[in-house]
Amino acid sequence: MKNGTRSEEEYYVKKNCYGQNQNDRSIKLLPKYWEQHLLWGQHFNMPLKPSITEVYKWLMSSDKVGRSTTTLFHNIGALTALLICGDLIEAKILRMPTTHEWGELIHSLDMGAKSAMFRLGMTTEKASKTEVANAFTLLNLTLRQELKEEEKVAMDYNAVMLEHALCKIK
Q: What is the pLDDT of residues 127-160, one digit of tens each?
A: 999 999 999 999 999 999 999 999 999 999 999 9
Q: How far apart are CA 13 and CA 33, in angstroms?
A: 15
Convert 58-78 to b/e letters by CB count within 10 Å (16 or more is b).
bbbeeeeeeeeeeeebeebee
> 0.75 cut: is pTM over it?
yes
Type and span of the H or E element at 103: helix 99-109
Q: How far apart are CA 106 and CA 125, in angstroms?
A: 13
Task: Domain ranges for the chain, please list them.
Answer: 8-75, 99-167
Asked if residue 10 lies in contact with residue 1, where contact means CB atoms within 8 angstroms, the answer is yes
Percent of the chain residues topping a pLDDT of 70: 81
